[in-house]
Amino acid sequence: MASVADTAVDLDELCVNTIRTLAIDAVQRANSGHPGTPMGMAPTVYALWQRVLRFDPEDPIWPNRDRFVLSAGHASMLLYAILHLVGAKAVDPDYEVLGRPSVSLDDIRNFRQFGSRAAGHPEYRWTSGVETTTGPLGQGVATSVGMAIAGKWLAARYNRPGFDIFDYTVYSLCGDGCMMEGVSSEAASLAGHLRLDNLCWIYDDNHITIEGPTSIAFTEDVGARFAAYGWNVLRVGDATSVGAVEDALQAAKTTQDRPTLIIVASHIGYGSPHRQDTSAAHGEPLGEEEIRLTKRAYGWPEDAKFLVPDGVYDHFRQGIGKKGRGLRLAWEAKFKEYEKAHPRLADEVQRIQRRDLPDDWDKSVPVFPADAKGVAGRDSSAKVLNAVAQSIPWLIGGSADLSPSTKTRLTFDGAGDFQAGNYAGRNLHFGVREHAMGAVLNGLALSKLRPFGSGFLVFSDYGRGAVRLSALMEIPVIHIFTHDSIGVGEDGPTHQPIEHLASLRAIPHLIVLRPGDANETAEAWKVILRLKRQPVALILSRQALPTLDRTKYAPASGVAQGAYVLADAAPGTPEVILMATGSEVSLCVSAFEQLKSEGIRARVVSMPSWELFERQSQEYRDLVLPPSVQARVAVEQASTMGWARYTGTTGAILGMKTFGASAPLKVLQEEFGFTKDHVVTAAKQQLGQRS
């Protein structure tokens, strides 16, 4: 320690090398991880956090803080090291600032070990100061676009003369892998179109990936590509120069009408005598001998482990700590004045931060009259969405170029389109970019807005990576998917989802809701908007669904329990249970009426959400699906996978075991067995009768 502390070492260099050596030591002890990027990009991260970033370590969720997204999530030790050194405080799941450090030195010593806040890749809600979960390359930068959109929208709605309540900047550090993934290209194109000048990506241009030099697969001119997107492109030729990086960052802050890409020319494993420009340091520990040589090159004690020299903590406290605290306190004082001048708007801002809803937000949710002809799921949802959106100003979203089909456009006066020049608009146009849409929605939700995005269910595959991350982060994104079955008809098997419901149901913490009629759709929206920490996939039909007579059948409010008894032939235990979701619910009701007329005690169970049903008590679940009733029929125009959980091994499952076909809906229903007669036959077979 003496050889560092007792030598006249520049404090900037000392802090940079502390970041580097913490990363080296953590990866080595874990025998797992990526030390190269933290070594090469430590000066860049130091320059950003210490000299530019508006961030208060004492309050890492201050609403007007700048955001830093480590899109190159494999370089997680960069983020953990800086969060530790600046003294970032932890925030609990209820967003109350706690006293303990977000990342302790023990967490770093236990990098990638169970229970450590220094997980293998940055995880939102697990480690305070992590703005979004990253690791899947490209997701971080794409999510940062959503954060930047949120910043623009919040400023447009809430800023008033003399009150710049929201004016933060979003920074994201990415690498070659992020640049190769298609989601980053989708998001960058959208950001350029929207002229998001509060967005800055820092590109670690080190020419290395896991397999070797990028030249084996990636030789495009990235700067020219981003210039074509409409970005401001800056270059830093020396990644070791803190001053040069700071100059570029300051230039980005003064750039107007376009986002900025800073291309930083770095070397993987900078300072490692034998591993510069090799892929080895990218994806594996250096090894003890290499570490000693590297630390010698840094002027570091060769045998010291997890060393933070004297003066480093204090330097960060006097830098980002002092500056960030001052900025945050000034903002809080200004917000108190804002509350007096604009109490209604201030109340909205506070509700947004708590993820609370306005009072009486659901008073305008429509109730749909019984109608045998009915209404399509997408159409009933459109009516509900437009009703509640007028009561929830921060409910915003759009579609991947499909709003005329998904019916997700907000049509009331004042809704407007979010575009450069009109950042107050609430209709987002994502273009044909399903994956970027999902990531942008995540960024909006991480900014505490309530976002929705829509597309065809079959194309949920294109955005699945982002959908999965919304579930992993436990953020309340609303994923709306229409054209939910072979009911798409003539469009054929390319547009008819089969495996998609099962696929979405397989994602932990994602609620899948497939309502059976207009009133179930209305109730589904009530469930969705009350959620604070769970994303939802709302699955809607293109074709009309009969609106059931709720004076004859059970209230649609049963949707909140995930499954409920919709119809019973007689009091007591039924002989056979018919269960379904979506458009197949009315089919089961028709079969039920015929069985009832023949003296068979049937029950119809509507099951719009398996996930919500599984949350209910065992008593409730047994009440809906009595274990003693083994005769069961499940009906869903999708893969049969998973239904045996509810039918048992002897129950009948009427579903899809092949892809669909191109034909009119009625022909497909007949060909694939989705008819009343087929359901009746299956029920009687369950009872051992002949039809």
Q: Catalytic positions, please?
A: 434
Taking the alpha carbons at both ends of the chain, their separation in whole angstroms is: 87
Backbone angles phi, psi at 357, to 5 degrees: -100, 160
Give the residue carrying structure tokens 């028709």. Answer: 590
- Between CA 685 and CA 567 the distance in angstroms is 20
Number of H helices and E strands in the chain, helices first, is 27, 22
- Strand residues in 352-460 grouped as ranges (E): 371-376, 395-399, 427-429, 450-456
- Strand residues in 45-152 grouped as ranges (E): 67-70, 89-91, 97-101
- Between CA 204 and CA 156 the distance in angstroms is 32
338, 346 in Cβ contact below 8 A? yes
* Pair of tokens at residue 254: 């003064």
- Counting other chains too, the contacts that 547-555 makes at CB distance below 8 Å and 24 or more residues apart are 547/368, 547/369, 547/370, 547/371, 547/374, 547/375, 547/517, 547/518, 547/519, 548/370, 548/516, 548/517, 548/519, 548/585, 548/586, 548/589, 549/370, 550/370, 550/519, 551/370, 553/589, 553/604
- Between CA 465 and CA 419 the distance in angstroms is 26
540, 527 in Cβ contact below 8 A? no
Cβ count near 687 (within 10 Å): 13
Cβ partners under 8 Å of residue 499, min gap 6: 638, 639, 641
* Pair of tokens at residue 296: 């010698």
What is the per-residue burial (b if ≥16 Cβ within 10 Å, else e) of 571-585?
Answer: eeebbbbbbbbbbbb
What residue type is assigned to position 23 of the chain?
A: A
Radius of gyration, CA atoms only, the chain: 28
